Structure 1
Amino acid sequence: MLAVFLKTLPFFGLIGLGWLAARTRFFPQDGAAWLTKFVFYFALSAMLFRFAARLDLAALFDGRFVLAYLAGSSAVWLAGMAVARARGLPLAEAAMEAQCCMIGNTGFLGVPMLVVLLGDRAIGPVLMVLTIDMLVFSTLITLIIHAGRSGGLRLATLVPIGRGIVANPMILSMVAGLAWAQMRLPLPGPFDEFLVLLGAAATPGALFAIGASLAGRRIGRLAASVWLSAAKLVLHPLAVGLAAWALGVQPFAAGVMIAAAALPVAGNVYILAQHFGIAQQRVSAAILISTALGIVTIPLVMMLIGQA
């Protein structure tokens, strides 16, 4: 356990440094937003393109892996929805809580950390998890909220949602990288060095930005936030692990899937909550609590699956 903890500690150390810098106001709060934009549109996109450009589609897509992750994640999503509805929450608010239960910080924390800790073999499974989260579950909650507010889905609603998916820089960079790989084009030396240099900023930039963004969060609605954090850190990896075992997913890929599912609640859930004006305080607190607890739970999960 100690050896695994020490491997993950530098990643959480960078998060802590970002939190401290923003908490002491040495790093301005709006600086976190600009740093996040740089990582999202430039550094992380360069990293994802370079990763995808070294894969073939068969390495990225595994039917049993996709089915296992969808089955386990959907079960947790439905559990989160059921608990919220049992507490009398309206549909849109219940969907936001369900999203907290199974959308992890795969882009900003999972891609940098899991690839470094588990090696290049983890690239395909991690990118598959990221793709499913963005294409399936992020689309699902947006559709539910729009349907709940307008009394149904209209074409005028679907068009901007589709446009947002297509314009997502993480999706664009992965698709472009896979297309490059499928055409079997080499990465020219200067271009590859450019991607390496820019992509290297993704890990420290993303982790520092996570920490800085946490400095402005406050804990409220404690009971609900603790439930959402527990569902994300414990229930989600357990559910996808059982699904992977039942469907016979290859052990290493299953381990990566479980490790990705053990990541804390993603910051983009709060962006959605803020955009729609739904459960912002609860989501913010769940991100803060799950990230803090992740310092212990992520090494524990990685030790249990024997991948670190």
Structure 2
Amino acid sequence: MLAVFLKTLPFFGLIGLGWLAARTRFFPQEAAAWLTKFVFFFALSAMLFRFAAGLDLAALFDARFALAYLAGSFAVWAVGMAVARARGLPVSEAAMEAQCCMIGNTGFLGVPMLVVLLGERAIGPVLMVLTIDMLVFSTLITLIIHAGRSGGMRLSSLAPIGRGVVANPMILSMVAGLLWSQMRLPLPAPLDEFLAMLGAAATPGALFAIGASLAARRIGRLAASGWLSLAKLVLHPLAVGVAAWGIGVDSFATGVMIAAAALPVAGNVYILAQHFGVAQQRVSAAILISTVFSIVTIPLVMLLIGQA
């Protein structure tokens, strides 16, 4: 257990450093926002393109893997929705809580950390999780909130969702990388080195930015936020693990799926909550609580999947 914890400790050390820098106001929130933008649009995109350019499309898409992740994630989403509705929350707030229960920080934390800890074989499964989260569940929450506010589903709601998907740099970089791979084009040495240098900034930059963003968050609605954190850190990895076992997913890919599902609540859930004005405080607190507790839960999960 100690060895696994020590492997993950540097990643959380970078998060803690970002939190300390922002908390002491040495690194202001405006700087954190710009650092996040640099990582999102440049460093992480370079990393994802380089990863995808070295993949065969078959290595990214596995029907059993996708089905298992969707089944487990939808089950947790449904539980989150049901619990919220039982507490009398409107559909839009219930959907946002359900989103918290199963959208992990795969882009900024999962891609850099899991590939380092589990090796390059983890690239395909991690990118699959990231793609499903962005294309399926981010679209789902947006449709539900639009439908709730407009009194039903409208075709006009689909246009901004489509634009958001097409303009997402993580999706664009993965698609571009896969196209490059399918065309069997070699990466010229200068381009490969450029992407490697830029992509190398993704891990420290993303982790530092996560920590800096946490400094601005406050804990409120503790019972609700605690439940959302528990669902994300415990129920989600358990559900996808059971689904993967039942469907017969490869053991290594199952381990990667479980590790990705064990990640804390993603920051982009708060961006959606803030954009729509729905449950911002609960979502913000769930991100903070789940990230803090993941310092312990992620090493435990890594230990369990290592023994599976």
Query: Whole-Å Cα distance in 2 between the matches of residues 29 and 52 of structure 1?
Result: 32
Amino acid at match of 1:194: F
More divergent stretch after superposition (46-55 vs 157-166): 157-166
Amino acid at match of 2:9: L
2:76 alignment partner in structure 1 = 76
How many residue pairs are counted as aligned between the two chains?
308
Amino acid at match of 1:299: P
1:287 alignment partner in structure 2 = 287
2:200 alignment partner in structure 1 = 200
1:183 alignment partner in structure 2 = 183
Query: Whole-Å Cα distance in 2 between the matches of residues 255 and 230 of structure 1?
Result: 20
Query: Whole-Å Cα distance in 1 between the matches of residues 296 and 246 of structure 2?
Result: 27
Matches within 5 A, 1:87-236: 87-236=87-236
1:302 alignment partner in structure 2 = 302
* Matched residue SS, 2:27: coil
2:251 alignment partner in structure 1 = 251
Query: Whole-Å Cα distance in 1 between the matches of residues 96 and 21 of structure 2?
Result: 30
- Displaced runs of 4 or more, over 4 A: none
TM-score scaled by length of structure 1:
0.99
Task: Give the deviation of 1:157 after TM superposition.
Answer: 1.3
Post-superposition CA distance 1:153-184 (Å, at most 9, x none): 22221111101101100000000000000000
* Matched residue SS, 1:306: helix
Task: Give the deviation of 1:307 after TM superposition.
Answer: 6.8
TM-score scaled by length of structure 2:
0.99
Asked if the contact 1:229/1:287 (under 8 Å) is kept, the reply is yes
Asked if the contact 1:255/1:307 (under 8 Å) is kept, the reply is no
Query: Whole-Å Cα distance in 1 between the matches of residues 159 and 301 of structure 2?
Result: 40
Query: Whole-Å Cα distance in 2 between the matches of residues 203 and 224 of structure 1?
Result: 31
Post-superposition CA distance 1:273-296 (Å, at most 9, x none): 000000000000000000000000
Query: Whole-Å Cα distance in 2 between the matches of residues 307 and 294 of structure 1?
Result: 19
Query: Whole-Å Cα distance in 2 between the matches of residues 289 and 128 of structure 1?
Result: 26
Asked if the contact 1:72/1:236 (under 8 Å) is kept, the reply is yes
Q: Identity over aligned residues, as a percent? A: 88
Query: Whole-Å Cα distance in 2 between the matches of residues 279 and 57 of structure 1?
Result: 38
Post-superposition CA distance 1:131-159 (Å, at most 9, x none): 00000000000000000000112222111
Task: Give the deviation of 1:251 after TM superposition.
Answer: 0.3
Query: Whole-Å Cα distance in 2 between the matches of residues 302 and 150 of structure 1?
Result: 44
* Matched residue SS, 1:243: helix
Amino acid at match of 1:154: R
Task: Give the deviation of 1:257 after TM superposition.
Answer: 0.2
Post-superposition CA distance 1:193-228 (Å, at most 9, x none): 000000000000000000000001000000000000
